[in-house]
Structure 1
Amino acid sequence: MTRAHIGTLVGLAFGLSWAFGGFGHLLIVLFVTLIGYVIGKVLDGDIDLSRYVPDRRQSR
């Protein structure tokens, strides 16, 4: 199981525990699941955020 899958499951679990019930709450769960999926993809290296994050090695 990849980190993207684990991130999706974690996001789904948090989303369900945060907003159980109703159609509006379903949209919240889908949003939180999407966040978990994206975090998993970043951890797997499929999405590169180095362009948006400053380099720590640069001197100030």
Structure 2
Amino acid sequence: MSMAVAGMIAGMALGFAGHFGGFGAFLLVAALGAVGFVVGRFLEGDVDLGDFLRSRDGQRR
């Protein structure tokens, strides 16, 4: 299992543990799952943090 999938599962488990029930819980679990997935991809090296920190013209801040 990749770290991205493990991070997504961890985020979803935290969402279920933190708030269970209703549409709000669905959104919370989806958001935490997405965050866990992105963190997992970052830890695997598939996502470069510099991609998010560059300005619009391609220059670093």
Query: Which structure 2 residue ranges, 5 or more long, are not aligned?
Result: 54-61
Q: Distance in 2 between matches of 1:2 and 1:25?
A: 25
Question: How far apart are 1:10 and its partner, in Å?
Answer: 0.4
Matched ranges for 1:1-60 at <5 A: 1-49=1-49, 51=50, 52=53
Q: Distance in 2 between matches of 1:19 and 1:35?
A: 16
Q: How many residues align?
A: 51
| RMSD, aligned α-carbons | 0.8
| Contact preservation (8 Å) 1:19, 1:26 | no
Identity %: 41
**Could you state the TM-score of these two structures normalised by the residue count of structure 2?**
0.78
Query: Which structure 1 residue ranges, 5 or more long, are not aligned?
Result: 53-60
Matching residue's letter, 2:3: R
Runs of 4+ in 1 over 2 A off after TM superposition: none
Q: Structure 1 or 2: larger helix share?
A: 2
